[in-house]
Amino acid sequence: RDAPCRFCVYLHAAVACASRGLWCWTWEPVGFQCRHPRLPVNRTRIRALVYGPAKTGTTQAARLLQELYANSWHSEDWRFHIWAPLVDEFYARPEHGGGMFPWQRLATPGTAA
């Protein structure tokens, strides 16, 4: 019976918090800027391997690391740039069926008809 009243109070509190920026930590700004001074080239000495099961934020972690450090990759990058061309080359051989559609020609620069 007092559930609609509780909902209205919750909704009012949520709107008040959102309008005053109390939840601003829940969104991430575009273009993260590191506050530390730049290190000399090739002197970062940072070696990290980040692992996480699917759908746990690994893509977001990889994108953050790419903004902080130039040399960081996600498994999607490895799969697209390294694994896929190797598999295509393997199956394009005559002993493995050959004559496949050349997928590497699809979305690569300079292949427009």
For residue range 46-80, list pLDDT tens digits in order: 677 777 887 788 888 888 887 777 677 777 777 87
Residue 90 included in any domain: yes
Residue 83 included in any domain: yes
Residue 84 included in any domain: yes
Count CB neighbours of 64 within 10 A: 15
| Residue range(s) defining the domain that contains residue 80 | 54-105
Residue 48 included in any domain: no
Rounded to an integer, what is the distance from CA 45 to the centroid of its chain?
Answer: 23
31: helix, coil or strand?
Answer: coil
Q: pTM here?
A: 0.38
Residue 44 included in any domain: no
Determine contact, residues 58/52, Cβ cutoff 8 Å.
yes
Domain tally, the chain: 1
Q: For residue 27, what pLDDT band results from cuts at 50, 70 and 90? A: low
Question: Is it the case that residue 28 has pLDDT exceeding 60?
Answer: no
State the average pLDDT for the chain. 73
